[in-house]
Chains A and B, each alone.
Chain A
Amino acid sequence: MNMNDSSTGTPLDLGKWRNVPKLLMGVGGALSLIGLFVNREQFAYSWLLSFMFFLSLCLGSLFLILMHHLFDASWTVPIRRFCEHIAALAFPWMAVLFLPIAILAPDIYTWMHVNPQFDHALRVKQPLFTWWMFDIVAIFCFLVWGVLAHRLRYWSLQQDKTGEARATHRMRRYSGPGIYLYALSLTIAAIMWVKALDYQWYSTIYGVYYFAGSVWLAIATAYIITMVLDRQGILTPVMHEHQYYYLGSLLFAFTVFYAYIAFAQYFIIWNGNMPDETFWYVLRERGTWWWISMVIIFGHFFVPFLGLLRIDVKNVFAYMTPLCIWAWAMHWVDLCFNIMPVLHPAGFAPSWQDVTCFAFMGGLLSWRFLAEFAKYPPYPIKDPRLSEAMGLYHPIPAQMSGAELDQTDEFPDAPPQFGGTNQ
Chain B
Amino acid sequence: MAASAETTLDLVEAPIRVPQPPAELERTPLVANGRSFGWLSNRVASLIENKAPGWWWVLFSISLLGLGLLIFCMSYQISTGVGVWGDMRPAMWGWGIVNFVWWIGIGHAGTLISAILFLLRQRWRTAINRAAEAMTIFAVMCAGIYPLIHVGRVWYDWWLFPIPNANSIWPQFRSPLMWDVFAVSTYFTVSVLFWYMGLIPDLAVMRDRSKTKARQFLYGLFALGWTGSNRAWSNYEKAYLLLAGLSTPLVLSVHSTVSLDFSVSQVSGWHTTIFPPYFVAGAIFSGFGMVLTLVIPLRSIFKLQDIITIKHIETMCKVTLATGSMVGYAYMMEFFICWYSGDPNEAFHFSNRALGPYQWAWIPMILCNVLIPQLFWFKKLRRNLVLVFIVSILVNVGMWCERFVIIVVSLTREFLPSSWHYFRPTWVDIGTYAGTFGLFFTCFLLFIRFLPMIAVSEIKGVTPQADPHNPLGGAKVPQFVHEEH
Contacts and interface: CB of A to CB of B under 8 A. Distances in A.
Nearest to A202: B341
Interface stretch (A99-107, A367-375, A391-399): A391-399
B377 A268 contact: no
A66 to B, nearest CB: 12
Given A202-B337, A204-B273, A401 B474 contact: no
Interface stretch (A38-46, A147-155, A269-277): A269-277
A414 B471 contact: yes
Interface in A384-407: 384-388, 390, 392-405
Nearest to B340: A202
Contact of A401 (B21, B36, B119, B274): B36
B4 A208 contact: no
Given A384-B25, A401-B35, A403-B39, A411 B473 contact: yes
A413 interface: yes
A164 interface: yes
A14 interface: no
A404 B275 contact: no
A124 B340 CA distance: 7
Contacts, number: 189
Nearest to A388: B27
A261 B39 CA distance: 47
Contact of B22 (A124, A125, A164): A164
B273 A402 contact: no
B301 interface: no
Interface stretch (B8-16, B161-169, B388-396): B8-16
A384 to B, nearest CB: 3
Given A204-B273, A205-B273, A383 B36 contact: no
A401 B27 CA distance: 19
Given A204-B334, A208-B277, A400-B36, A418 B271 contact: no
Contacts of B271: 268, 272, 274
B476 A384 contact: no
A393 B20 contact: no
Interface in B32-85: 33-39, 42
Determine the interface band of chain B, counting residues with CB < 8 A from chain A.
35 or more
A154 B256 CA distance: 41
A268 B277 contact: no
B266 A274 contact: yes
Determine the interface band of chain A, counting residues with CB < 8 A from chain B.
35 or more
B323 to A, nearest CB: 13
Contacts of B424: none
B18 interface: yes
Given A163-B4, A410-B465, A414-B471, A383 B38 contact: no
B476 A237 contact: no
A6 interface: no
B191 interface: no
Given A180-B325, A402-B38, A386 B330 contact: no
Given A415-B477, A420-B471, A384 B21 contact: yes
Nearest to B253: A260
A121 interface: yes
B386 interface: no
Given A260-B277, A396-B29, A401-B36, A414 B342 contact: no
Nearest to B469: A393
A411 B274 contact: no
Contact of A204 (B22, B42, B119, B330): B330
Given A204-B334, A236-B14, 10 more contacts: A202-B337, A205-B273, A264-B256, A381-B16, A384-B20, A392-B18, A401-B36, A402-B38, A414-B474, A415-B471
